[in-house]
Chains A and B, each alone.
Chain A
Amino acid sequence: MMKRLARSAGGLLRWETMLIAALVVMCAVFDRQDAARQVAGLAKKDVFNPAVVIKGLRPYMLYSFMTLGIMLILAMGDIDISTGASAALSVAALGVVYQALTGAGIPGGLSLALSLAVCLLTGWLCGAVNGWLVTRFKELFAMIITLATQLFYRGVAYLLLGGKTLTFKNDAAFDLLKRLYNTVQIGDVSLPVMLIAFLAAAACYAVWVHGTAGGRRVFALGTNPKATLYSGIRADRVKFRLFALCGLTGAVTGVFFVGATSSSIRADAMMGYEMYAIAAAVLGGFSTSGGRGSVPGVVLSLVIFGVMKIGLGTLYGFADSMVNLSVGVILIVSTLLPNLLTAAGDALRLRKRRAQANVSSRALTSGSI
């Protein structure tokens, strides 16, 4: 009986359950504040309802695709801090190629398709270069390699754009990208295209990561790389592919970013996005030392960050800085807390074992005398 209770309590203590609880509590608090503001006459209508929140999530979900790529790198026990820069480079390539193609008289739709392909390819290549370097130079940390490539990719993006901002105003074909940021009406609800795309991608990732042998290998690699290698998994190939995939997800983020910023392309775009993505992945249960994490957790943590930003911003009037402060505190506390709990549990178990050992040794000595 006790055991079963303990097991179900363990199920309740799962990280995702805690995240859901946190989300529910947060929504309840925000809802009360919303109602209070209405009563006090500070707001004319309620600003915190599902329809508004779902629409409002968009600007905070831009880095969500990148998070899907980075979380798997974290699951392997590596890190990639170049994704923001490689996304900026892919977007720069998109803009430059589109400009060149339309300048050469190729119709807009075709050039958009071609430049989108170039953009995704650039992202994949950036990731592939990271992967190649990481698997080739194992004595170097992925952190340092991607630090170098971060500066390098950003530099190439600056070089491509020459420090200028590319904008495509009133360009019928290029404006198609803006639609990615719009909403579509499904039945009674209007959902952002981006959200649907992200949820679809996350669902694919969840099936792949948690349901197939290929996905389980990623976690195996993060738990014990040597054992993984000896059990016949081509560790380097898996690593290379995941880094390349991470670059690709960065490029996808970049495409949505262009849609969101009404088609303006700058080399310093998406600065620091990789850090947001790492923060979201860590809150979602992934650890930078590898081997743990779940896709639903990451989706939840992205939603939590988004809802928190909306709520703190619109309901409490806090500026961005307050939101960033909360992100930082949550990041530290959410990793510190499990560690402290485990440490406390270990200490308790040790104490119990010592007490038992004392008792038995005393019994032994008294018995022998």
Chain B
Amino acid sequence: MGEIQTETVASSRRAPSGVVSMLARRREILLLGVLLALLTGVSLRVPGYLRNNYMNILKGGSINMVMAAGMLPVLLIGSIDISVASTLAFSGAVAGMLMRDGYIVSTIGMVLTGIAIGGAIGALNGVLVAYGRVLPIIVTLGMGYVTRAMIPMDWLLGLNKIARINLTDSFKVFFLDHYRLGLPYLVWFAVVVTLLTGLFLRFTRIGRRVYAVGSNESAALVRGVHTGGIKTLAHAICGAASGLAGVMWLGYYNSVEKTTASGDEMYVIAACVLGGVAVTGGYGKITGVVIGALMIAMINSAIPQLNVGNSMITEFVKGLLLLAAILLNAGLRRFARRRELLGRRV
């Protein structure tokens, strides 16, 4: 939250000059710079890397990006959701089962079902957090166990996994084989979801209230914001995005089982943190989240092609990058604040 305060103070007096404070305020520029530097480095090793791989990066990153866009409002209110990967698997599995049994035939129906199931799980998380006063990490940890455990249950799905043969032909080709403006529908989903989230948070009254609750909850409450409702809504959005991601997963890989996407919630949060979202709530932009998700997708696609000898270096680089990003962010913020204080004293 500190950012917004310092930003307003700074702009009301005189904007602190200097590259560092500019970078601290506009973190996306720095991120974009790091992304371009990575890309240049990879392109030097592997000529023509971007031309051959841009589609793989976008396809591989779109599911993570949808979930990260949903995670953004949750982080903005100062909460966290570590059940997103389980929600993905659960809604993918239930939607797949409904298609197998012939209840849903159309792809639109699948998408809506995924969003509804995920949204319901997210809303339940939100109610427990906002009205049950349980800490978000405990709620979502428990919910993650519960939803993932329900996947292989006989009475629920009837079999252990949803496979290719359970899906209709039109669904199987929908996400990857239909193109518009040169991009497959899978990527378009990510584009639409991020755009919608960004516009919602930036321009609607409720979206601004999400920031308000995250910045200072009691102030928002005194100001007449229904904080419990906003929190529930933020969690419901996150769940809905994960539910949609579950259907996208089914469309991309054509299978969902109980271990699907297990552990991916960490990469979703990592994308947000790389994108400069403050987990203390109140600060974060969708552009940063998009860049963060792209960065992770690029590392996933680039490192196997670098021929560094040890294919397992991907995990190492991801961890190193995330660690460097959060420390750099913190360092920049400190430096900017110190500069600002010095400027004020003069």
Q: A153-B319, A155-B317, A335-B138 are in contact. Are A325 and B150 (CB under 8 A)?
A: yes
Distance in angstroms from B304 CB to nearest chain A CB is 12
Q: Does B285 contact A (CB under 8 A)?
A: no
Residues of B within 8 A of A163 (CB): 310-312
Instruction: Tell whether A343 is near chain B: CB-to-CB under 8 Å.
Output: yes
The CA of A161 and the CA of B80, in the complex, are separated in Å by 33
Contacts of A140 in B (CB 8 A): 279, 326, 330
Query: Are the CB atoms of B138 and A151 closer together than 8 Å?
Result: no
Q: Which of B105-113, B139-147, B196-204, B286-294 contacts A (4 or more CB under 8 A)?
A: B139-147
| B318 x A155 contact (CB < 8 A) | yes
A276 to chain B minimum Cβ distance, whole angstroms, is 10
B326 touches A145 (CB 8 A): yes
A325 touches B149 (CB 8 A): yes
CB within 8 Å for A148 and B323 given contacts A155-B316, A331-B138: yes
A199 to chain B, nearest CB (A): 27
Q: Which of A156, A272, A339 contacts B132 (CB 8 A)?
A: A339
B-chain residues with CB within 8 Å of residue A278 when the two chains form the complex:
137, 141
- Chain B residue nearest to A156 (CB atoms) is B316
> Which residues of the other chain, B, contact A328 by a CB distance below 8 angstroms?
141-146, 149
In the assembled complex, the CB of A177 is this many whole angstroms from the nearest CB of chain B, namely 24
Task: Please tell me if the beta carbons of B146 and A137 are within 8 angstroms of each other in the complex.
Answer: no
**A137 with B135: CB separation less than 8 A:** no
Write the nearest CB–CB distance from B228 to chain A, whole angstroms: 13
Quick one: which of B143, B319, B326 contacts A144, CB cutoff 8 A? B326
Residue A267 CB within 8 A of the other chain: yes
Closest chain B residue to A279, Cβ basis: B141
Cα A248 to Cα B273 with chains together (Å): 28
Of A36-44, A182-190, A218-226, A282-290, the stretch lying at the interface with chain B is A282-290
Do A155 and B320 have beta carbons less than 8 Å apart? yes
Is A159 a contact of B323 with CB atoms below 8 Å? no
* Interface members, chain A 277-308 (any B CB < 8 Å): 278-279, 282, 287-289
Residue among B139, B142, B150, B311 with max Cβ neighbours from chain A (10 Å): B142
Chain B positions within 8 Å of A335 at CB level: 134-135, 138-139
Q: Which of B6-14, B235-243, B263-271 contacts A (4 or more CB under 8 A)?
A: B263-271
Q: Within A335-349, which residues are at the interface with B (CB < 8 Å)?
A: 335-336, 339-340, 343
CA distance A323 to B279 in the complex (A): 32
Query: Does B151 touch A at the CB level, under 8 Å?
Result: yes
Establish whether residues B312 and A321, one from each chain, have CB atoms under 8 Å apart when the complex forms: no
CB-based contact A158/B315 at 8 Å? yes
Of the residues A271, A321, A340, contact of B258 by C-beta under 8 Å = A321
Contact: B133 with A148, CB < 8 Å?
Answer: no
The answer on a CB contact under 8 Å between B266 and A332 is no
Asked if A327 lies at the interface with its beta carbon under 8 angstroms from chain B, I say yes
Instruction: Return the chain B residue nearest A82 by Cβ.
Output: B319
Instruction: List residues of B (230-275) whose CB comes within 8 Å of A's CBs.
Output: 258, 263, 266, 269-270, 273
The B-contacting residues of A in range 148-188, CB under 8 angstroms, are 148-156, 158-159, 161-163
Nearest CB on B from A266, distance (A): 11
Known: A275-B141, A321-B152, A332-B142. A152 touches B132 (CB 8 A): no
Which chain A residues (126-152) contact chain B, with CB distance < 8 Å? 133, 137, 139-141, 143-145, 147-152
Q: Which of A311-342 contact B (CB under 8 A)?
A: 319-325, 327-332, 335-336, 339-340
Which residue from B137, B138, B149, B311 sits with its C-beta under 8 Å from A322?
B149
The yes or no answer to A116 lying at the interface (CB within 8 A) is no
Query: Which residues of the partner chain A approach B333 to less than 8 Å between Cβ atoms?
Result: 139
Query: B112-150 CB contact bits vs A (8 Å, 1 = yes)?
Result: 000000000000000010001111011101111110111
B37 within 8 A of A: no
Q: Is the CB of A282 within 8 A of B311?
A: no
**B322 at interface, CB cutoff 8 A:** yes
Contact of A162 among B258, B312, B314, B322 (CB under 8 A): B312
Q: Mark B63-77, 1 if CB is under 8 A from A, else 0.
A: 000000000000000
CB closest residue in chain B, given A163: B312
A79 within 8 A of B: yes
A15 CB to closest chain B CB, in angstroms? 15
B280 at the interface (CB under 8 A from A): yes
Closest to A342 in B: B133
**B235 → chain A closest CB, angstroms:** 14
In Å, the complex CA distance between A126 and B136 comes to 26
Q: Which residue of B lies closest to A343 (CB)?
A: B133
Closest chain A residue, CB of each to CB of B146: A328
- Would you call B34 an interface residue if the criterion is a C-beta within 8 Å of the partner chain's C-beta atoms? no
Q: Are A141 and B319 in contact (CB under 8 A)?
A: no
Assembly CA distance A232 to B2 (angstroms):
28
Q: Are A159 and B316 closer than 8 Å at their CB atoms?
A: yes
- Quick check: is B153 within 8 A (CB to CB) of the other chain? yes
Whether B319 pairs with A324 at a CB distance below 8 angstroms is no
Tell me if A332 and B134 are in contact (CB < 8 A). yes
* Chain A residues whose C-beta falls within 8 Å of the C-beta of B326 in the assembled complex: 137, 140, 144-145, 148
A residues within 8 A CB of B135? 287-289, 335
Whether B137 pairs with A144 at a CB distance below 8 angstroms is: no
Q: Who on chain A is nearest to B320 by CB?
A: A152
4 new A-B contacts at CB < 8 Å, known A155-B317, A159-B312: A139-B333, A144-B326, A158-B313, A328-B143
Instruction: Tell me the A residues contacting B by CB distance below 8 Å.
Output: 79, 133, 137, 139-141, 143-145, 147-156, 158-159, 161-163, 267, 271-272, 275, 278-279, 282, 287-289, 319-325, 327-332, 335-336, 339-340, 343
Minimum-distance CB pairs A-B, first 4? A328-B145, A152-B319, A155-B316, A151-B319
**Hey, which bits of chain B sit against chain A, CB under 8 A?**
2, 80, 128, 132-135, 137-139, 141-146, 148-153, 258, 263, 266, 269-270, 273, 279-280, 310-320, 322-323, 326-327, 330, 333
Interface pairs (15), CB distance under 8 Å: A139-B333, A147-B273, A148-B270, A162-B310, A162-B312, A278-B141, A279-B145, A287-B135, A319-B152, A321-B148, A322-B153, A328-B143, A330-B142, A339-B132, A339-B134
